[in-house]
Amino acid sequence: MPQLDAQDRNRVVVVGAGPVGAVVSLALCQRGFPVTLIEAEPGPVEDQRAATVHPPTVEMLVGLGLKDAAWASGLLSPIFHYRDRVTDDLVAIFDVGVLEGEVPYPFVLQWEQYKLVLAALDKAKETGLLETRFSTKLIGFSQDADHVTLQVEVDGEATTMSAAWLIGADGGRSTVRKMADIDFEGFTWPERFIKIGTTHNFLESGRGYCTRNYFSDPDEWLNLFKVKGPGEPGIWRGIFPVPPEEPDEIALSDEGIQRRLQKFLPKTGDFAIAYHALYKVHQRVAASFNQGRVLLVGDAAHVNNPIGGMGMNGGIHDAMNLAEKLDAIRTGAADMDVLDRYTRQRRSAQIDFVQAQSVANKKALSERDPVKRKEHLNGLRRISENLELHKKFLYRSSLIDSLNTASAVL
């Protein structure tokens, strides 16, 4: 059995330099753990997927020292709308600001995940405990009672490294999860989603849109929200469904992209497109988030559709929960069994809240039955107009209930 040096007895290897990998690395470094972050890509990726940061997650990021970076390059968005796309009627207005005095940060922060990654890595480097290894691919691992031995490939050459813990933060196709032979239970939606970024300013449309909008439509629902992007005028992201029978090349063509935007808001000339991406959408949760000294966080442990912006938030909640428990093990305040509790807590948060809520969000926006659709929209209107129900809705949709309930799981 190899002998670990003093640092490697506490070293954590994190696989995946996305937002959750970066946050768990930062949280661990700030607790005194030496962290090696490995990533197959040659550097941080400018990934345009997640951007919504809900109030409890904002509080966590502020606690990690990321407030200045977040406020500088993110957009504070307390208001969001539900609309009927068929009629263009405004159905309901929700304002996270009504939670003033109940939560420290009563707003949603629209902060693109690549900006979060860069800020978190910079902050982690300040501790002197973070080592980043890009262009490094995990090709195997084994574990004993007190350490994990990893085989990694760098520039085509294999090498070995040892650590106390291995954390898979490597996305829905997680190599760590697959190598640990942990089931990924759930399903894949038949339609795909297309994300289209445009610099067109929808606030000037004259239709009263805000910076976060959800449009119900039995034929083609839509999420539309604004991020700061690289600077003014910012970027508006539209997320549309792509039916199973529509070929990828049609959806991704210039004509297909313009068709979707022009159908939503007809205008003279083409929309300026900043980026676009087409992807499959899954609802899955790993059977376990821990296997000995091998642990899963974020999309490696759970994936869901993006309606409501819950995926990255849930992953960050995983990261903070796990960092606290690993610290308790290191200090002797807890034993390894606490990691079983990590799985119970975070699986509960996913299954009972994130999966349930994101599936409900998607079905509600795409409801075809006219009676059920009318009932849903009228229900949203009633909830938004009643302060008590309004707050209750926000506590669930902002993952406050999820975090509080899961934290109480023994």
CATH number for the domain that contains residue 146: 3.50.50.60
Task: Report the distance separating Cα 323 and Cα 341, nearest Å.
Answer: 13
Does residue 293 form part of some domain? Answer: yes
The residue ranking higher by pLDDT, 7 or 152, is 152
Residue 391, domain member (yes or no): yes
Nearby residues of 355 by Cβ (< 8 Å), 6 or more positions away = 186, 283, 285, 302, 304
Residues in the chain: 410
Does the residue 261 lie in any domain?
no
First to last CA, the chain: 35
Q: What is the mean pLDDT of the chain?
A: 95
Q: Is the pLDDT of residue 3 over 70?
A: no
Residue 4 has pLDDT above 70, yes or no: no
Per DSSP, what are the bridge partners of residue 133?
38
Instruction: State percent of the chain over pLDDT 70.
Output: 98
Query: What pLDDT does 49 receive?
Result: 83
| Residue 40 covered by a domain | yes
Q: Are 334 and 325 in contact (CB under 8 A)?
A: yes
Q: Are 81 and 341 within 8 A, CB to CB?
A: no
83 lies in a domain? yes
φ and ψ of 293, to 5 deg? -95, 15
What is the rounded average pLDDT of the residues 98-120? Answer: 97
Which 3 state secondary structure label does DSSP give 87? coil
Phi and psi of 265, rounded to 5°? -140, 90
Residue at 209 is within a domain: no
Confidence band (pLDDT; 50, 70, 90) for 231?
Answer: confident
pLDDT digits (tens, 9 = 90+) for 172-214: 999 999 999 999 999 999 999 999 999 999 999 889 999 999 9
pLDDT at 193: 96
61 within a domain of the structure (yes/no)? yes
Q: What is the pLDDT of residue 45?
A: 85
Statement: the pTM of the whole predicted model exceeds 0.85: yes
Residue 375 belongs to domain spanning:
12-187+283-407
Number of domains in the chain: 1
3-state secondary structure of 227: strand
Segment 299-312, tens digit of pLDDT: 999 999 998 889 99
Summarize pLDDT for 379-407 with one digit per residue, the tens: 999 999 999 999 999 999 999 999 999 98
For residue 246, tell me if it sits in a domain. no
